[in-house]
Chains A and B, each alone.
Chain A
Amino acid sequence: MIRYINKHKNHITAISAILLVLAIITHITGYHGLRHGILLAATIFAGIPIFIKAFQALRMKAFSIELLVTIAVIGAIFIGEYVESAVVTYLFLFGDYLEARTLERTRSSLKDLVDMAPQEATVVRDGDQMTLLVENVVEGDHVIIRSGGKIPVDGKIITGQASLNEAAVTGESVPATKKLDDNVFSGTIVDNGYIEVIAEKIGDDTTFAKIIELVEEAQESKSKTEKFLDKFANIYTPAVVVLSVLVYVFTRDLHTAITFLVVACPGALVIGAPVSNVAGIGNGAKNGVLVKGGEVMDKFAKVDTLVFDKTGTLTKGKPELTDIHTFDKQDENELLRLVAQAETISEHHLGQTIVKEAKARKLNSGEKPEDGEVIKGKGLRANIEGKMLTIGNRKLMHADNIDLPSEFAAYAIERETSGNTAIFAAVDGKVRGIFSIADQIRDDAPAALAEMRKNGIKKIIMLTGDNKHTAELVANQLDLDEFYTELLPEDKVAYVKKLKEKGHVVAMAGDGINDAPAIATADIGLAMGEGGTDISMETADVVLMADKLKQFSHAYSLSKATIRNMKQNTFFAVGIVFVLLAGVLGGTVHLASGMFIHEASVLLVILNAMRLIRFNHKNTKEDTTMQVAHA
Chain B
Amino acid sequence: MTTTKFRLEPLTCPSCIKKIESKLGKMDGVEEAKVLFNSSKVKATYNEKNVSKEKLQETIEKLGYPVLK
List the interface of chain A (C-beta within 8 A of B): 3, 6, 52-53, 56-57, 59-60, 62-65, 96, 99-100, 103-104, 107, 110, 216-217, 219-220, 267, 270-271, 274, 278
- Judge whether A220 and B62 touch: CB under 8 Å: no
Q: A100-B12, A104-B10 are in contact. Are A57 and B19 (CB under 8 A)?
A: yes
Chain A residues whose C-beta falls within 8 Å of the C-beta of B41 in the assembled complex:
216
- Judge whether A220 and B37 touch: CB under 8 Å: yes
Distance in angstroms between the alpha carbons of A3 and B14 in the assembled complex: 21
- Judge whether A62 and B19 touch: CB under 8 Å: yes
Distance in angstroms between the alpha carbons of A551 and B19 in the assembled complex: 39
- Judge whether A110 and B62 touch: CB under 8 Å: no
Distance in angstroms between the alpha carbons of A216 and B59 in the assembled complex: 24
Distance in angstroms between the alpha carbons of A64 and B64 in the assembled complex: 11
Chain B residues whose C-beta falls within 8 Å of the C-beta of A110 in the assembled complex:
38-39
B50: Cβ under 8 A from any A Cβ: no
Chain B residues whose C-beta falls within 8 Å of the C-beta of A278 in the assembled complex:
38
- Judge whether A60 and B63 touch: CB under 8 Å: yes
- Over the window 14-28 of chain B, the binary record of Cβ atoms lying under 8 Å from chain A Cβ atoms (1 yes, 0 no) is 110001001100000
Q: A6-B66, A57-B63, A62-B63 are in contact. Are A270 and B15 (CB under 8 A)?
A: yes
B14 CB contact (under 8 Å) in A60, A62, A107, A271: A271
A100 CB contact (under 8 Å) in B10, B22, B62: B10
- Total B residues in contact with A, Cβ cutoff 8 Å: 19
- Judge whether B63 and A103 touch: CB under 8 Å: no
B34: Cβ under 8 A from any A Cβ: yes
- Judge whether B62 and A60 touch: CB under 8 Å: yes
Is chain A's binding surface mostly helix, strand, loop or mixed?
helix
- Judge whether A56 and B62 touch: CB under 8 Å: yes
Which of chain B's residues has its CB closest to A269's CB? B14
Distance in angstroms between the alpha carbons of A100 and B9 in the assembled complex: 10
User: Residue among B36, B38, B39 with the most chain A CB within 10 A?
Assistant: B38
CB distance from A291 to the nearest CB of B (A): 14
B13: Cβ under 8 A from any A Cβ: yes
A96 CB contact (under 8 Å) in B12, B15, B63, B64: B12
**Across the A-B interface, the 9 shortest Cβ-Cβ residue pairs:** A56-B64, A270-B14, A219-B38, A278-B38, A62-B19, A216-B39, A99-B12, A100-B12, A53-B64
B38 CB contact (under 8 Å) in A53, A100, A220: A220
The 28 listed contacts between A and B (C-beta, < 8 Å) are A53-B64, A56-B63, A56-B64, A57-B19, A57-B63, A60-B19, A60-B59, A60-B63, A62-B19, A62-B23, A62-B63, A64-B15, A64-B19, A96-B13, A100-B10, A103-B12, A107-B38, A107-B39, A110-B38, A216-B39, A217-B36, A219-B36, A220-B39, A267-B13, A270-B15, A274-B14, A274-B37, A274-B38
CB distance from A423 to the nearest CB of B (A): 52
Distance in angstroms between the alpha carbons of A570 and B13 in the assembled complex: 17
- Judge whether B36 and A220 touch: CB under 8 Å: yes
Chain B residues whose C-beta falls within 8 Å of the C-beta of A62 in the assembled complex:
19, 22-23, 63
Which of chain A's residues has its CB closest to B64's CB? A56
